[in-house]
Amino acid sequence: MKQKEIKIPEATIKRLSTYINCLERLDAEGFQVVSSELLGESCQVSPAQIRKDLSYFGEFGVRGVGYGTKNLAEQIKKILGLDKIWPTVLVGVGHLGHALLNFTFFREHGYRMVAAFDNDPGKIGREVTTDVIIHPIEKLVEITREERAAIGIITVPASSAQETADRLVEGGVKGILNFAPNKVKVPENVTIRNVSIVSELDNLAYLLSKKHGRRRLTRKKTISRPPKL
C-alpha cells in the first residue's frame, strides 16, 4: 500500500463508481468472492487495471483468493465518500430534472434531494417525491443555505445555466453537476462537473462515420484551404 499524497488518476475514480455497480450485481448473483478477473469481465475493465486502481487506496483482497464482494463494495463507497449523506438540490424541473428527482438510485447511494427549484409558477409547491417540494427560484439561495446543501444539480436551459450556478455558489454548495450544454464558470473552491449529452452523441456520430467509411476526412495532399476571412 502506498501512503503519501500520491495523485490518483481521475479515471480511476470514474471506474470505482462502476465497480460498485458491478459488485452489487455480482453479489445479487450469489458471488460472495470475486477475483479481479471476474469483476473485470463483468464491468469491462482489465483485471490489472482493477488491481492497480484499488492499490491506490489500500489492500482489499486476499492473495490466492480474491475480494469479498460485499466488503469491497463497502470499502469503495467509503473511498468515494458515499458512506456520508450528501444533501443535494436541483434547479430546473423540466423533464430531465424530473427524471433525476425520481431516480431512486440517488437515495440508495448517498445523495438526499432536499429541495428543487423552478421559475414556472405552475410548478411551485408541487411535491415531486415525499421529501422534495418545488420552490420558486427566488428562494434558491436561502433554502440551499438553510439545508446546508453540498451539491447542486443544474437542469435549466443553457441560457440561464451560468446565473443558476452563481446562485448555487452563493447558497454555499461545494460541488455542481451541470447538465446544460454550455460550460459554466465557478470560483476555485467549488467543484464543477459538466455532463454533456450532446458530446456523447457526437462521439458516437464520429465513430460511426469513421467506421462506416464515408469520405476520408484527411486526404492525401489537398490541404483544406484556409478560409479567406
Binder among 9, 48, 62, 131 for a second copy (CB under 8 A): 62
**Contact (CB, 8 A) for 186 and 178:** no
Torsional class of 88: left (φ above 0), alpha (ψ -120 to 50), beta (otherwise): beta
Which residues make up the interface to DNA (CB under 7 A)? 1-2, 7, 9-12, 34-37, 46-49, 51-52, 54-55, 59-67, 226
208 binds, among DNA, a second copy, none (CB under 5 to 8 A by kind): a second copy
**Cα–Cα distance measured from residue 201 to residue 151, given in angstroms and rounded to the nearest whole number:** 26
Residue 183 interacting with a second copy (CB under 8 A): yes
What's the rounded Cα separation, in Å, for the pair 134 and 41?
42
- CA-wise closest residue to 41 among 17, 59, 16, 23: 23
Interacting positions 149-178 with a second copy (CB under 8 A): 150-151, 174-177
Q: Are 88 and 111 in contact (CB under 8 A)?
A: yes
Closer CB to DNA, residue 11 or residue 201? 11
CB of 15 to DNA, least distance (A): 7
User: Reduced to 3 states, what is the DSSP secondary structure of residue 132?
Assistant: strand
Q: Which is nearer to a second copy, 112 or 139 (CB)?
A: 112
Between 9 and 125, whose beta carbon lies closer to DNA? 9
* β-strand partners of 186: none
Give the integer Cα–Cα distance in Å for 177 and 23.
25
The C-alpha cell at 178 is 451541470
Partner whose binding site includes residue 126, from a second copy, DNA, none (CB under 5 to 8 Å by kind) = none
Stretch that binds a second copy, among 18-26, 112-120, 136-144, 160-168 (CB under 8 A): 18-26
Q: By CB under 8 A, is residue 25 in contact with a second copy? A: yes
Question: Which of 36, 75, 144, 162 contacts a second copy by CB under 8 A?
Answer: 75
